[in-house]
């Protein structure tokens, strides 16, 4: 293990990290919005597709235990082509981080603090993320042990508090949209948030048993599916067709919670959840990018990369889009196709070439 990969995490911590990472910004956007009232079906199909992706990721991790995707690419494709493919993959992590930061700042400037410049949120978030990255993956994993249970508790509580407002007719008619539209919505879900777990190809080597990543990954996808169905069901059950009109349907749905004799602003729950999971997601993307760059340039420490990469992420978050409508259009139209080469293409190609070249070669015994 090189000095860049410091610390180990246990299998159960990987489950926490994957769930936290996948929930990330999916908590505020209604997952499967394109499938309307069939979003819960789209989530299940999308999860099934992403499990196929996960089998590819974990097959790679089992074949090259102790190696990150950057190191695997160099082993499989050689030092030059391998570095080039690794750099393309790192662009995805970097770009995704900048998009998540933008989602985050848009949410806070549109829905919470309209007078505060978005740069303030971006800088604060990246500073915290930089601090977490400088401490390493172990610390981020420990943070997830605290943050995820809080988020799941708040999600479950708000779901239960809104059960009496559910209009189950909102879920009907089932499968009204065309088969192809349903498949399109399911693939969009496989790309966001499930397929983004491709980033864990950078973190499987941190496992105390690097070959044992498959079980935790599949369990995490299953649990994330359940949680996303909860979020989606609440939005559809409470808002119905109006969910399609809201920029942040979860936030709109939660405004309907009515506790007798108490005046509560429960929107803060959505904000806490988004803050907690957004922090985990950005920290992991920040760490993945920095670690990968460090390995490409054969650094002895990732520390010098943390701040410059963080600043570049903030700048890209500003120049990514000119407005929220472009952001939503990208999420619905561009993202499911744009991510295919990163989430499926690179890992699958690497696995096939490794199989054909019979890599890694075992050392010849004399």
Partner 1 sequence: MLVVLLVFIFLIIALFDAPGLVRKKYWRELAVYSGLMLTALLLSILVVIGAPLPAVTTEITNLVKAVYRLTGLK
Residue 304 binds to partner 1 (criterion: CB under 8 A): yes
Q: Which of 7, 78, 215, 334 is close enough to bind partner 1 by CB under 8 A?
A: 334
Cβ atoms 304, 292 nearer than 8 A: no
Stretch that binds partner 1, among 18-26, 104-112, 244-252, 328-336 (CB under 8 A): 328-336
Among 122, 236, 280, 305, the residue binding partner 1 under the rule CB under 8 A is 305
Contact pick of 169, 255, 300, 357 for partner 1 (by CB under 8 A): 300
Helix (H, G, I), strand (E, B) or coil at 256: coil
> Cβ of residue 78: shortest distance to partner 1, in angstroms?
21
Residue 135 found at the interface with partner 1 (CB under 8 A): no
Restricting to residues 337-366, which ones interact with partner 1 according to CB under 8 A? 337-338
- Residues facing residue 9 across a β-bridge: 207
Residue 71 backbone dihedrals phi, psi, to 5 degrees: -70, -35
User: Which of helix, strand or coil describes residue 9?
Assistant: strand
Q: Are 346 and 202 in contact (CB under 8 A)?
A: no
Told to check if 120 binds partner 1 by CB under 8 A, we report no
CB of 216 or CB of 310, closer to partner 1: 310
Binding test (CB under 8 A) with partner 1, winner from 297, 358, 365, 366 = 297
Q: Choose the binding region for partner 1 from 17-25, 52-60, 308-316, 346-354 (rule: CB under 8 A).
A: 308-316
As a whole number of angstroms, the distance between CA 295 and CA 87 comes to: 10
Distance CA 355, CA 352 (A): 5
Owner of token pair 């494709």: 77
Which residue from 17, 293, 346, 354 is in contact with partner 1, where contact means CB under 8 A? 293
Q: Is 308 in the site for partner 1 (CB under 8 A)?
A: yes
Question: What CA–CA distance (Å, rounded) separates 237 from 84?
Answer: 47
Tell whether residue 8 is a contact of partner 1 (CB under 8 A): no
Residue 177 CA: distances (Å) to CA of 190, 266, 273, 298: 18, 33, 31, 51
Q: What are phi and psi of 3, to 5 degrees?
A: -70, -15
- How many residues make up the chain in this entry? 366
Q: Rule CB under 8 A: is residue 190 a binding residue for partner 1?
A: no
Q: Could you say which of 320, 345, 349, 359 contacts partner 1 (CB under 8 A)?
A: 320
What is the C-alpha separation between 36 and 195, in angstroms, rounded?
A: 21
Does position 117 interact with partner 1 (CB under 8 A)? The reply is no
Nearest to 279 by CA among 129, 170, 157: 129
312 binds partner 1 (CB under 8 A): yes
For partner 1, which stretch binds (CB under 8 A), given 65-73, 191-199, 225-233, 303-311?
A: 303-311
Helices (H), the chain: 11-23, 39-63, 69-77, 79-107, 118-135, 137-161, 179-191, 214-239, 249-254, 267-296, 303-319, 324-329, 335-338, 340, 346-356
- Check residue 299 for interaction with partner 1 (CB under 8 A): yes
DSSP-based three-state secondary structure for 207: strand
Which of residues 127 and 264 has its CB atom nearest to partner 1 in the complex? 127
Binding segment (CB under 8 A) for partner 1, from list 30-38, 140-148, 156-164, 302-310: 302-310
Two tokens, residue 91: 């662009």
**From residue 88 to residue 107, what is the string marking binding to partner 1 with x (rule CB under 8 A)?**
-------x---x--------
Considering only the stretches 42-50, 194-202, 262-270, 298-306, report the one whose residues sit in contact with partner 1 under the rule CB under 8 A: 298-306
Residue number with CB closer to partner 1 (215 or 334): 334
Unique residue bearing structure tokens 């069901």? 233
The answer to the question of residue 3 lying near partner 1 (CB under 8 A) is no
Give the binding-site size for partner 1 (rule: CB under 8 A). 31
Out of 168, 179, 298, 365, the residue judged to bind partner 1 by CB under 8 A: 298
Q: How far apart are CA 253 and CA 250, in angstroms?
A: 5
* Residues forming the site for partner 1 (CB under 8 A): 95, 99, 293, 297-301, 303-305, 307-309, 311-312, 315-316, 318-322, 326-327, 329-330, 333-334, 337-338
């Amino acid at each position: 293990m090189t000095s860049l990969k410091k610390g180990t995490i246990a299998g159960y911590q990987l489950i926490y990290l994957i769930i936290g990472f996948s929930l990330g910004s999916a908590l505020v956007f209604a997952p499967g919005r394109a499938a309307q009232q069939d979003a819960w079906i789209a989530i299940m199909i999308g999860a099934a597709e992403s499990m196929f992706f996960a089998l590819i990721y974990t097959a790679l991790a089992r074949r090259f235990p102790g190696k990150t995707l950057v190191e695997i690419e160099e082993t499989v494709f050689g030092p030059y082509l391998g570095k080039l493919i690794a750099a393309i993959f790192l662009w995805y992590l970097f770009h995704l981080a900048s998009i998540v930061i933008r989602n985050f700042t848009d949410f806070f400037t549109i829905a919470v603090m309209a007078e505060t410049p978005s740069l303030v949120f971006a800088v604060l978030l990246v500073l915290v993320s930089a601090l977490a990255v400088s401490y390493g993956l172990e610390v981020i994993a420990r943070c997830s042990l605290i943050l995820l249970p809080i988020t799941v508790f708040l999600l479950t509580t708000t779901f239960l508090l809104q059960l009496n407002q559910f209009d189950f007719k909102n879920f009907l008619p089932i499968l009204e949209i065309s088969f192809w539209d349903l498949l399109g919505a399911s693939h969009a879900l496989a790309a966001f948030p499930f397929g983004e777990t491709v980033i864990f190809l950078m973190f499987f080597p941190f496992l105390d048993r690097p070959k044992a990543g498959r079980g935790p990954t599949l369990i995490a996808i299953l649990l994330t599916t359940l949680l996303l169905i909860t979020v989606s069901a609440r939005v559809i059950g409470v808002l119905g067709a109006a969910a399609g009109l809201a920029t942040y349907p979860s936030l709109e749905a939660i405004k309907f919670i009515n506790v007798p004799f108490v005046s509560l602003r429960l929107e803060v729950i959505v904000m806490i959840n988004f803050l907690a999971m957004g922090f985990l997601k950005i920290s992991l993307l920040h760490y993945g990018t920095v670690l990968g760059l460090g390995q490409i340039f054969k650094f002895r420490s990732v520390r010098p990369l943390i701040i410059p990469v963080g600043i570049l992420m903030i700048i890209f978050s500003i120049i990514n889009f000119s407005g929220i409508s472009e952001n939503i259009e990208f999420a619905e139209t561009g993202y499911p196709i744009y991510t295919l080469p990163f989430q499926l293409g690179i890992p699958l190609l690497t696995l096939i070439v490794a199989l054909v070249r019979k890599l890694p070669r075992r050392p010849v015994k004399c």
